[in-house]
Amino acid sequence: MKHILIIDESSLFRDYLRMKLEENGLEVTIAISTVDGASKMRNIVPDLIIMDYHLSRQGIMEILKQKKADPNTVGIPAIIMAQHIDQRRLIELVSYNVKKVFNKPVKVDALFATLSELLGIPFSVDESPGIVEVHVNDNIIFIEIAQGLNRDKLDVLRFKIIELINLYEIKVPRVIVMLSDIKLGFADAPNMQKLLDTVIQASKTRLRYIRLLTRDTFARQFIKGQKEYEDIEVVSNLQYAVNDLLSGIDGTAQSEQKAEMIGDRILQAQSREDTEAMVLKFDAEAKSASFELMKDSLQDLRIAVIDDDAAVQELIRTTFRKTASVVTSFPSGEEYLAVVDSEEFDLAFLDLNIPGTGGFTVLKALQSRHIKYPIIALCAVLQRDTMIKAVQMGVKSYLVKPLNAKDIFKKSVEILKANF
C-alpha cells in the first residue's frame, strides 16, 4: 500500500485530502508543522509528500533540505501547494525533487491526475460538470451551484462550509442554496440527497433556516417527496429568501431593506466558460478566527484601493500595514485604469459610486481585459439598486460602509485564502 505524508497547517484541507486518499486505498499520515513533518518523513519514508509552501516557523525550505540530505528520503517526490510563488523559487524547488507546484485554489481534478501519474494508480474522480461557489453576505451562507451536481465538489463543500462558519463565527447559520444554470432529472436524486445532507451536516443548522432557491422542477419535487427535508423551504426569488432569513434574525424592517440589496436575477446567470474545479473562498484554521491569526494569513499582498475617500484609503492602508503588503490608492477610476495593464495586484477594493469613471465602468473594463484578481466592492448603506446591479455583474463579495479593520480582514481572508 502506498503511503502519503501530508504537511499542512490547515486542518480542514488535511482532513479533505486524507478522506479522498483513503477512499482510493492509500495510507495517509498527517503532520501539522515543519518539525512534525520532518520527523515523520524520516520515520515512515513515505512514497509521496504533499505540503503547503507557506508553512510557518522553519519554513518549507528547511524540510526540503533535510529531505535532500538524507539518502533514505532524497528520492521521495513532493507536491507543493502555494498561494503564490515567484519564478526563481520554482526553479530552485526542482533540485529537491518537487514534481509539481499547484497554485491555490487547487484544482482538485488536476491534483488527482498528478497523483495518479506519480503513484501509478488510478483515482476515482467525478468528471461530470459542476461549479460551486460559496460566499458570505449579511451573515448568510450563499452556496451557488451551476451546471451540475459533481460529487467530488460536494465533498469539498462540506469542509468549506465549516471554514466559513469558523471564519465569521456564525452562531446560528442561515443558508441559501442556489441552483443556477442547472436542470436535474431522476438520475440526479442521489447527488441531490448528498448536496442537502452535506449542507445540513456541515452547517449543523435547523432545516427551517435553509432555503433552496431554484426554478428546477425536479429539485422542487425531490424536496416535496422527502419527509426528512420537508422543513426546507423551496423558493424562486432570492430577495424573498434573504428577507425571510434576515427577518428571522432581527424581525425588523431594516432586514427587509438589506434583503433588497440582492435580486433574484442571479438564477439567470449565463453559462460559465470557466469549468475549473471549485473556487471557494474561505479558509480559517481555528474555531475562533481571531484578528491576530488573520494577520498571519495575509502577507506580502499588492492591493489597489479605488476610492476618492481619503479616510477609506488610510483605513485599508493601516489595516494591512503589519502584513508587509503594498497598498496603492487611486482616487479615481481613470487613474486606476491607466495602470491596470502594467501593474499586477492580488486584490482590489472598489467604491462602486466613485465619481468620474464609475465603479461599474471599471468593472466592465476589467472584464474586457480579462483581469481575474478578486474585487471587493464597497458601497454605502442601503444603496440597494447599486448592489443588485453589482451582483448581476458577478460581484459576490462586498463591504458596506462605514468600514472597520476586522471586517476588511475577514473579507480578504474569505477571498484570498482559498485552499481548493
* pLDDT tens, the chain, 420 aa long: 999 999 988 888 888 899 999 999 999 999 998 899 999 999 999 999 999 987 765 578 899 999 999 999 999 999 999 877 777 788 889 999 999 999 877 888 889 999 999 999 998 888 898 888 888 877 889 998 999 999 988 998 998 899 889 888 899 999 999 998 899 999 999 999 999 999 999 999 999 999 999 999 999 999 999 999 999 999 998 878 888 888 765 444 344 344 444 444 444 443 333 323 333 333 333 333 444 545 555 778 899 999 999 999 999 999 998 888 999 999 999 999 999 999 989 899 999 989 998 899 999 998 888 887 888 999 886 565 676 677 667 676 788 889 999 899 888 888 887 666
**Confidence (pLDDT) at 283:** 32
Which three-class secondary structure state does DSSP give residue 278? Answer: coil
User: Could you report the per-residue pLDDT of 75-112, keeping only the tens digit for each?
Assistant: 999 999 987 777 778 888 999 999 999 987 788 888 99
Give the pTM.
0.75
Q: From start to end of 153-306, where are the E strands?
A: 174-180, 210-213, 233-235, 302-306
| Second CATH level (architecture) for the domain 3-119 | 3-Layer(aba) Sandwich (3.40)
Q: Do 281 and 135 touch, CB atoms closer than 8 A?
A: yes
Fold of 291-416: Rossmann fold (3.40.50)
**Alpha-carbon distance 136 to 318, whole Å?**
24
Phi, psi angle pair for 78, to nearest 5°: -130, 145
**Alpha-carbon distance 343 to 265, whole Å?**
34
Q: From start to end of 283-394, where are the E strands?
A: 302-306, 326-330, 347-351, 375-379
CATH 3.40.50.150 given to domain 131-268: no
Cβ–Cβ contacts within 10 Å for residue 215, how many?
A: 16
Q: Where are the domains of the chain?
A: 3-119, 131-268, 291-416
Burial of 60 (0-12, 13-18, 19+ CB in 10 A): buried
CA distances for 291 relative to 168, 295, 349, 410, angstroms: 11, 6, 20, 8
**Alpha-carbon distance 52 to 64, whole Å?**
12
**Alpha-carbon distance 132 to 143, whole Å?**
7
Sheet holding 326-330, edge to edge: 326-330, 302-306, 347-351, 375-379, 398-400
* Measured torsion, CA atoms of residues 277, 282, 286, 288, in degrees rounded to the nearest 10: -150
Same fold, 3-119 and 291-416: yes
